[in-house]
Amino acid sequence: MPSPATPRASDRWRFYRAVWRWHFYAGLFVLPFIAWLALTGAVYVYQKPIDRWIHHDLKVVENAAVPPSPASAQLAGVNAVSRGAVFRYTTPEYADGSIEIGVQEVDGRRQIYYVDPGTAQVLGQLPDKGTFSGVVRQLHSLDLLGDYASALIEIAAGWAILLVATGVYLWWPRGQNGGITTVRGQPRQRLFWRDLHAVTGVWVGGLLVFLAVTGMPWSVVWGNQVNAWANGHDYGYPAGVRVDVPMSAHRLADTTTPAWSMEQAQLPVSAVPHVQHAAADDGHAAHGGGPLGDLSPQPGALGIDAAMRRFNALGLAPGYSIALPRGPMGVYTASVYPEDLSRQRVVHLDQYSGRVLLDMGYADYGALGRGLEWGINVHLGNEYGTVNRVVLIVACAGILLLCLSGVVMWWKRRPIGGIGVPPLPRHGRSVAGVFVLLCIGGLVFPLVGLSLLVVGVLDCLATRGWRLT
């Protein structure tokens, strides 16, 4: 006669099999993505030294001790070799770095020209985001897949969280002697790969969840909705955005890559001198001149040299970029996002008077904005210097090992001619119960919930309502 404990044990293992089934599905869909993200992310962590090495002839100057020439002379050097319009000027982050000048060519392409600060000589050019790290970032964010990339990132990140949650449940000690902190068996045995997978997952699972959550701000649904909600309720927007100054239809993201909290920020407008009012009021002043607007110098504007002196006096961190005014009502905008979050800053100047219209930094962000910016900075390996980068490299290596061990373990277990989906428990309601729990989590991330629903419906139909065959 069965003991009273038998039904409870049976229920426990029935639930275990149901969780295992969903863990398998999560791994089936997400492992290729997280392996790719870990590999490209590990490379991107050291983007700056790699770029300086690969593009040394463009990014590093030999005569760093020579006093810099005026910014206007450097722009003139670029204008001598290009017929396009300059839209961005970036100061060097390092003492031996070159000036980077963004140009919108007449055919619409965006090019970055590298200029020696001392001689104003053009060292060469690359397409915008055409550096090695720029390509790696596009690979990491799946931009090469087109408009669906950010949706795939959101789905993969959400499934990665489900993968870790179900994996921790499967790992949880149930009286076994191994596979908790130690690895049993030999590499030729499935037991070895199962234990390696479980132990590795426990060590890197928390970091995987952190990277998945902090990668979500770039996603198409969750990221955009949270950004709009945070900024609309003053949780993310710098408080200085909503002040009584006229704002244009242009956004900071049009000419630079802002911090996540600044993606919705509009640009203020300059006080147009009386002689310029007719041009400003004709409906084209703030919007003409192609995708970037009218970038031609305006009569009475103070010029790039005077603007730089103003920005330097305000103490912006090295490496800041200046977006040039667009049209008579445009402004000079300097922005910098260094590794030190406290030095993030965006400053807008009236292009005629040089008056500071808005000056915003990390301390001005709302609570949600500060929290998410911190997470993004850690995600990029910036916040805690070398320690941050080393931890991320170890995490990426652990994630790759997690993926490899999961694939080998599945390969050794799979049946001939099948994909090896874990068997259904005797009572299908266990699978349904786990499915409902996962769907609750899917409410937080809509695309994840939708994909989870699709997989659940297909699995239910394939098994005739989660019944054993």
pLDDT greater than 50 at residue 4: no
* Residue 21 binned pLDDT confidence (cut-offs 50, 70, 90): confident
Comparing 1-5, 36-40, 426-430, the range with the smallest average pLDDT is: 1-5
**Would you say how long the chain is, in residues?**
469
Average pLDDT, integer, range 208-224: 84
Lowest mean pLDDT segment, chosen from 171-185, 221-235, 315-329, 447-461? 221-235
Mean pLDDT of the chain, nearest integer: 83
Question: Of 236, 272, 281, nearest to 371 (Cα)?
Answer: 236
* pLDDT score for 449: 85
pLDDT tens column, 261-285: 677 777 888 888 865 554 444 444 4
Ordered domains of the chain (ranges, CATH): 14-45+139-219+384-462 (no CATH), 56-130 (3.30.505), 237-365 (no CATH)
182-203 pLDDT, tens per residue? 899 899 999 999 999 999 999 9
Give me the pLDDT at residue 405, please.
94
Per-residue confidence band for 11, with pLDDT thresholds at 50, 70 and 90: low
> Considering only 259-273, 342-356, 405-419, which range has the smallest mean pLDDT?
259-273
d(CA 323, CA 292): 11
pLDDT above 60: residue 163: yes
